[in-house]
Amino acid sequence: MTNIKASEVARDFALYGDVLDAVPYGNGHINDTYLLRCNQAGTVVRYILQRLNTSIFREPEKLMENVSRVLAHCASRLAGQDDASRRALTLVPARDGRPFCCDAEGAYWRCYLFIENATSHDILKTPAQAFAAGEAFGAFLSLLADIGGERLHETIPHFHDTPSRLATFDAALAADCRNRAALAKDEIAFVASIRHIAPRLLDLQAAGAIPERITHNDTKLNNVMLDDVSGAGVCVIDLDTIMPGQSLFDFGDLVRSSVSPAAEDERDLRKVQLRQDVFAALVKGYLKGCDGCLNKTEVELMPFAGQLITFEIGLRFLTDFLQGDVYFKTKRDGHNLDRCRTQFRLVQLLREQEEALQRVVAAV
Ligand code: ADP
Ligand code: GN1
Ligand code: MG
């Protein structure tokens, strides 16, 4: 059903034509996303309209400055190439020229061209899709390598700082404000058993073995659009967390969200599996997209990154469960605990098969 507020806000953007409707769209956990349709001189043209979640993104204007800079860089690098307007997001400016607009309640909105004839998948089906997604995120990393100018803003400080995520978890567990810890005994014990892995990537960065790069930081599978005909990666989306980070944060999140055929919130944990052929295709695609820019340590730690980022995000789901579901959108009781369980099961599989995955990387 059309959302009245979103249709009203749409009129504040410099769109051509008449607003037809705006309906909730997509499966994102953070922002409110709408599919907006306009009648543009007799043709229906689609856009993505989003209300930013400002309880999570506390400095939306700085965030939009990052997004605008990144997209201007992408546009200049893609200029003149085939399909350039599908291969990077394009912001529609507000009527006052800013890259966003604010409504009467002070909420921040932005509008993008809709990427047509492409799909963002929640579950990856084939190794060919894995190669395509890996290549797209790798190419995005390499595209951003020479963005230049000042350091990008940190839109969420300590986003992939796993030790800091552990400290937040410890505090949530100590407070247990919803009396839910008793429902998550096994998961809490699992955290205790592997918490020692948390600082490894940041320690290696501090020691100079892993470089800081401009990274996407939210490279889950449904944040890349694959072409409906060729299956190739078309466009990386969801740019809110682009900031300084590590390539392994990106590769790790891609592993987390792609290697298992089960949904992130699947309740039957027998369905959580580690598809090694999918992992191999992700590695090949990502390395091809990166085009030689990763160092030896970054390549060797690709299997470990999958395990660490999956642990970190499972930990965030568990923390949110303990805190009363205040961060991720949820649709049912225990939703965050279900999500945590799939992540932790996958961590177990990634740890059990770590040597085999290392052989996969060495063979590429
Ligand atoms: P969230 O931060 O909430 O995950 P996203 O920016 O990822 O929000 O958008 C949610 C979903 O909307 C995406 O997974 C994708 O399916 C769809 N989407 C977002 N931007 C576009 C776009 N420009 N064109 C087509 N679909 C899009
Ligand atoms: C969120 O925005 P979305 O749905 O693509 C989250 C990620 C998590 C992911 C888990 C800003 O991603 O960090 O890995 O959910 N984004 C933010 O599915 O917290
Ligand atoms: Mg998203």
For residue 56, the CA-to-ligand 3 centroid distance in Å is 14
Closest CA to 31 of 247, 241, 179: 241
What integer pLDDT is reported at residue 211 of this predicted model? 98
And the tokens for 213? 């790069």
CA nearest ligand 2 atom 19, residue: 30
Q: Which residues surround ligand 3, an ion (CB under 5 A)?
A: 28, 223, 238
Q: Please report, for residues 191, 244, 353, the alpha-carbon distance to residue 162 in angstroms, rounded to integers and kept in the order given.
A: 12, 15, 22
What integer pLDDT is reported at residue 98 of this predicted model? 98
What integer pLDDT is reported at residue 1 of this predicted model? 84
What integer pLDDT is reported at residue 8 of this predicted model? 95
Domain-embedded: residue 249: yes
Asked if residue 285 and residue 263 are part of one domain, the reply reads yes
Domain-embedded: residue 184: yes
Domain-embedded: residue 101: yes
Closest ligand 2 atom number to CA of residue 327: 19
- In one-letter notation, the amino acid at residue 259 is V
Domain-embedded: residue 134: yes
pLDDT in tens, 261-313: 999 999 999 999 999 999 999 999 999 999 999 999 999 999 999 999 999 99
pLDDT in tens, 70-100: 999 999 999 999 999 999 999 999 999 999 9
For residue 356, the CA-to-ligand 3 centroid distance in Å is 30
And the tokens for 13? 């953007």
Asked if residue 206 and residue 347 are part of one domain, the reply reads yes
Q: Please report, for residues 186, 191, 262, 314, 337, the alpha-carbon distance to residue 334 in angstroms, rounded to integers and kept in the order given.
A: 15, 18, 18, 14, 5
And the tokens for 80? 């003149």
Into how many domains does the chain fold?
2
Residues near ligand 1 with C-beta < 6 Å? 25-31, 33, 48, 89, 112, 114-115, 120, 222-223, 237-238
Does this model's pTM top 0.85?
A: yes
CB-CB contact of 221 with 134 (8 Å): no
CA atoms within 13 A on the CB side of 147: 25
Residues near ligand 2 with C-beta < 6 Å? 28-30, 56, 218, 220, 223, 238, 240-241, 264, 313
Domain-embedded: residue 122: no
Closest CA to 105 of 24, 23, 32: 32
Last residue of a domain, one of 116, 140, 159: 116
Asked if residue 169 and residue 107 are part of one domain, the reply reads no
Local structure of 43: helix, strand or coil? strand
Q: pLDDT in tens for each of the 364 residues of the chain? A: 888 999 999 999 999 999 999 999 998 999 999 999 999 999 999 999 999 999 999 999 999 999 999 999 999 999 999 999 999 999 999 999 999 999 999 999 999 999 999 999 999 999 999 999 999 999 999 999 999 899 999 999 999 999 999 999 999 999 999 999 999 999 999 999 999 999 999 999 999 999 999 999 999 999 999 999 999 999 999 999 999 999 999 999 999 999 999 999 999 999 999 999 999 999 999 999 999 999 999 999 999 999 999 999 999 999 999 999 999 999 999 999 999 999 999 999 999 999 999 999 999 9
Domain-embedded: residue 324: yes
Residue keyed to tokens 């949530």: 172
Asked if residue 168 and residue 66 are part of one domain, the reply reads no
Asked if residue 138 and residue 11 are part of one domain, the reply reads no
Asked if residue 314 and residue 218 are part of one domain, the reply reads yes
What integer pLDDT is reported at residue 44 of this predicted model? 98
Asked if residue 261 and residue 162 are part of one domain, the reply reads yes
CA nearest ligand 2 atom 7, residue: 218
For residue 9, the CA-to-ligand 2 centroid distance in Å is 25
For residue 244, the CA-to-ligand 3 centroid distance in Å is 19
Candidate from 27, 218, 221 with most ligand 2 atoms within 8 A of CB, to mutate: 218
DSSP symbols for 165-226: HHHHHHHHHHH-TTS-GGGGHHHHHHHHHHGGGTTHHHHHHHTTSS--EEE-S---GGGEEE
**Residue 129: which H helix or E strand, with range?**
helix 127-144
Closest ligand 1 atom number to CA of residue 31: 3
The enclosing domain of 221 has a CATH number of 3.90.1200.10
DSSP symbols for 219-242: --GGGEEEETTT--EEEE---TT-
Last residue of a domain, one of 66, 94, 116: 116
Closest CA to 279 of 359, 360, 345, 201: 360
Q: Cα separation of 310 and 255, whole Å?
A: 8
Asked if residue 185 and residue 37 are part of one domain, the reply reads no
The enclosing domain of 17 has a CATH number of 3.30.200.20
Asked if residue 154 and residue 97 are part of one domain, the reply reads no
Asked if residue 65 and residue 43 are part of one domain, the reply reads yes
Asked if residue 135 and residue 101 are part of one domain, the reply reads no
Q: Please report, for residues 7, 157, 231, 267, the alpha-carbon distance to residue 255 in angstroms, rounded to integers and kept in the order given.
A: 37, 23, 19, 20
Domain-embedded: residue 121: no
Asked if residue 51 and residue 166 are part of one domain, the reply reads no
What integer pLDDT is reported at residue 50 of this predicted model? 98
For 92, the domain range is 3-116
For residue 239, the CA-to-ligand 3 centroid distance in Å is 9
Cα Rg of the chain (Å, integer):
20
Last residue of a domain, one of 96, 116, 136: 116
Domain-embedded: residue 202: yes
